[in-house]
Chains A and B, each alone.
Chain A
Amino acid sequence: MSETTPAAETRRRRPQSLIAAGNILRFLAKTPTSAFGLLVLAVLILTALFAPLIATHDPYLQDLTNTLAPPDSAHLFGTDELGRDIFSRLVHGSRITLTIIFLVTIVVGPLGLLVGTVAGYFGGKTDVALMRVTDIFLSFPSLILSLAFVAALGPSLNNAIIAISLTAWPPIARLARAETMTFRSADYIAAARLQGASPARIIWKSIVPMCLPSVLIRLTLNMATVILTAAGLGFLGLGAQPPMPEWGAMIATGRRYMIDSWWLVTFPGLAILSVSLAFNLLGDGLRDALDPKQMMKR
């Protein structure tokens, strides 16, 4: 009996969260706009996974005899100033975009959760100190703050990701704090405290799981901004460096030839637009599916 209990418990708990996730997915799939968002993201992930299979050419292979060729059957989206196939570069660029999304998420989520839950749980001076720091970060537009960080760290894709993460955590921290404040005085937290659980344990075991769903939604909502900021940094030459096929950087180099060769900037731009639109549509749907009031807050 005692051996079966934990297993039974996890079995009981798993399906519940799965059912919730299923319900949300079903709701999203029913709304045409968010279904479109889901579709685009699925395409993005598949493209990134199977990039070498989908790409028709080597994204780095130069062909100086065939530069700035307009779109045709051999080169779906044309070639760039060094004769590289733009379609293949876009396909491989999806990996960079996914990397950015993934890394920013795993940095921002835990950081925001940590600051927010600690501030919310302890309250008092800890709260004031942490929230002041958060406010300072929040009072700058994120791109300008990222610019300052990249300037200090030096331009590269990794530094761009770090800079974006440093500017993206405050809203998450705010949210986690607000959530924590509502749970802090709940009876089950008091019970855990009376049993002698340390604050770290209470935060990790009891508070973080409660904050997680709303934090994940908030992260989805912010992802569009993250993608645009990353592309903007790439465009300014402060993100991914050539010859990497990062979409923003592709637009930056294509800019010189844009009057005669429109395809150099048009296709990477459409790629950025569709991914950030997908996240926005998805976030919009999630906002409708779940608590609308809370998500509006910055």
Chain B
Amino acid sequence: MPTDPVRAIVGEDATREVYETVYRQLGLDRPMWEQFFVYLRDVASFDFGTSIRTGQPVLQDIVHVLPATIELATFAILFGAGVGIPLGVLAAVKKDRWQDQLIRIFSLMGHSMPIFWTGMIGLLIFYAALGWVGGSGRMSQFYIGLVPERTNFLLIDSALAGEWEVFRSALNHIVLPASLLGYSSSAYITRMTRSFMLDQLGQEYVTTARVKGLSRRQTVWRHAFGNIRVQLVTIVALAYGALLEGAVLIETVFAWPGFGQYLTSNLLIGDMNAVMTCVLIVGVIFIALNILSDLLYRIFDPRTR
């Protein structure tokens, strides 16, 4: 497995002269600090270099693969929050009862599963044995190239083109990886929701609501839930960022042509331009999510206005 970028370009059988030339072309003969500053200068002007593997500008590659991952991660977070938040609220309301224990074990399981393994087992059961869902990839082989690429979000593109067959196929393929990914992130969401909710249920305004004659359920959803919404937004944003991590592994299992697969395949051949850019982009996404959750904070909490 070569991680020498020069070897990756010239191949194993290249002569010494060819190797040396490429070595110099890549600037690898310069001192480390100089290489670093050259890189910083390029990045500052949005020049992320060219991928050795694909021969295309890295940025162009990423624009191509990132939507696939965002599509997957968005479905996953919808699932994760959709399952995690109600379970967390239920666990808090039923604290220390059997429901709470069951939810705790369910969510710790999700937290403990190696996602790449769960993916395979999922494929074995739901695709190979039961045939409920589509297999690897974003859609059936049959449809590839049928839909014009506009946004690179397959569900949007196929809907725009009116190709509902493709849309169905895409949906069929995204369900399994997204729900497995979502399950793994729901663990964190459930736990945090539970602890936030417990905090709120001990507050006096909850008693006020009960005194007014609201039922426990109304109190939880109309009063307490509003107060944890703010914190939940932060948690879900963090979980969304963490999904990118799970995406790296699950994309490999599901042959999902997304960001994670792009990153790992470039890693294995030492395509450092691509790798560095990917890591940078993940960092940028994290920061963006943080800023976004800060903004939402201000919308949901009157005290911060």
Q: Check whether chain A touches chain B (CB < 8 angstroms).
A: yes
B112–A276 CB distance below 8 A: yes
In whole angstroms, what is the CA distance A204 to B244 when docked? 39
Residue B148 lies at the interface, judged by CB distance under 8 Å to chain A: no
Please give the distance in Å from A34's CB to the nearest CB on chain B. 11
In whole angstroms, what is the CA distance A269 to B113 when docked? 8
Residue B156 lies at the interface, judged by CB distance under 8 Å to chain A: no
Residue A202 lies at the interface, judged by CB distance under 8 Å to chain B: no
- Interface bits B22-37 vs A (CB < 8 Å: 1, else 0): 0000000000000000
In whole angstroms, what is the CA distance A269 to B117 when docked? 6
Chain A 76-133 residues near chain B, CB threshold 8 A? none
With known contacts A147-B264, A236-B249, A269-B121, A139–B112 Cβ distance under 8 A = no
Chain A residues with Cβ under 8 A from B117's Cβ?
251, 265, 268-269, 272-273
Residue A142 lies at the interface, judged by CB distance under 8 Å to chain B: yes
Segment at the interface with B among A22-30, A177-185, A254-262: A254-262
Chain A 119-170 residues near chain B, CB threshold 8 A? 139-145, 147-148, 150-151, 154-155
Segment at the interface with A among B57-65, B101-109, B170-178: B101-109
Closest to A143 in B: B245
In whole angstroms, what is the CA distance A173 to B244 when docked? 24
With known contacts A232-B249, A248-B114, A259-B128, A151–B3 Cβ distance under 8 A = yes
Chain B residues with Cβ under 8 A from A277's Cβ?
108-109, 112
Closest to B199 in A: A293
Residue B161 lies at the interface, judged by CB distance under 8 Å to chain A: no
Chain B 88-119 residues near chain A, CB threshold 8 A? 101, 104-105, 108-109, 111-118
In whole angstroms, what is the CA distance A277 to B108 when docked? 7
In whole angstroms, what is the CA distance A280 to B1 when docked? 34
Closest to B123 in A: A258
B114–A276 CB distance below 8 A: yes
Chain A 220-262 residues near chain B, CB threshold 8 A? 224, 228, 231-232, 235-238, 248, 251, 255, 258-259, 262
In whole angstroms, what is the CA distance A154 to B108 when docked? 33
Q: Which of A144, A147, A266, A268 has the most CB of B within 10 A?
A: A144
Residue A62 lies at the interface, judged by CB distance under 8 Å to chain B: no
Please give the distance in Å from A255's CB to the nearest CB on chain B. 6
Chain A residues with Cβ under 8 A from B113's Cβ?
273, 276
In whole angstroms, what is the CA distance A228 to B195 when docked? 25
Closest to A296 in B: B195
Q: Which of A139, A232, A279, A280 contacts B116 (CB 8 A)?
A: A232
Closest to B290 in A: A139
Q: For the side of the interface on A, what is the size category? A: 35 or more
In whole angstroms, what is the CA distance A259 to B283 when docked? 37
Chain A residues with Cβ under 8 A from B128's Cβ?
259
With known contacts A236-B264, A269-B114, A144–B244 Cβ distance under 8 A = yes
With known contacts A143-B245, A269-B114, A280-B108, A151–B275 Cβ distance under 8 A = yes
Closest to B245 in A: A141
With known contacts A139-B286, A273-B112, A265–B104 Cβ distance under 8 A = no
A284–B108 CB distance below 8 A: yes
Residue B10 lies at the interface, judged by CB distance under 8 Å to chain A: no
Please give the distance in Å from B141's CB to the nearest CB on chain A. 17
Closest to A37 in B: B108
Please give the distance in Å from B293's CB to the nearest CB on chain A. 13
In whole angstroms, what is the CA distance A151 to B271 when docked? 9
Residue A281 lies at the interface, judged by CB distance under 8 Å to chain B: yes
Residue B252 lies at the interface, judged by CB distance under 8 Å to chain A: yes
Please give the distance in Å from A201's CB to the nearest CB on chain B. 36
Residue A33 lies at the interface, judged by CB distance under 8 Å to chain B: yes
A235–B245 CB distance below 8 A: no
With known contacts A238-B267, A276-B114, A258–B120 Cβ distance under 8 A = yes
Q: Which of A139, A144, A279 contacts B248 (CB 8 A)?
A: A144
Please give the distance in Å from B115's CB to the nearest CB on chain A. 8
Please give the distance in Å from A189's CB to the nearest CB on chain B. 32
Q: Which of B108, B192, B249, B270 contacts A151 (CB 8 A)?
A: B270
Closest to B263 in A: A147
A141–B244 CB distance below 8 A: yes
B121–A140 CB distance below 8 A: no
In whole angstroms, what is the CA distance A266 to B123 when docked? 12
B195–A33 CB distance below 8 A: no
With known contacts A151-B270, A262-B124, A144–B282 Cβ distance under 8 A = yes
Chain B residues with Cβ under 8 A from A231's Cβ?
114, 116
Q: Which of B1, B109, B195, B272 contacts A237 (CB 8 A)?
A: B1
Residue B299 lies at the interface, judged by CB distance under 8 Å to chain A: no
With known contacts A145-B279, A151-B270, A296-B195, A255–B114 Cβ distance under 8 A = no
Other 16 A-B pairs with CB < 8 A, given A232-B248, A237-B268: A141-B244, A142-B245, A144-B244, A144-B248, A144-B278, A144-B282, A148-B267, A151-B270, A151-B272, A232-B249, A236-B268, A255-B253, A265-B121, A272-B114, A272-B117, A296-B192
Q: Which residues of B contact A (CB under 8 A)?
A: 1, 3, 101, 104-105, 108-109, 111-118, 120-121, 123-124, 128, 192, 195, 241-242, 244-245, 248-249, 252-253, 263-264, 267-268, 270, 272, 275-276, 278-279, 282-283, 286-287
Q: Which residues of A contact B (CB under 8 A)?
A: 33, 139-145, 147-148, 150-151, 154-155, 224, 228, 231-232, 235-238, 248, 251, 255, 258-259, 262, 265-266, 268-269, 272-273, 276-277, 279-281, 284, 292, 296
Top 6 closest pairs, chain A to chain B, by CB: A269-B117, A141-B245, A277-B112, A276-B112, A143-B245, A151-B267
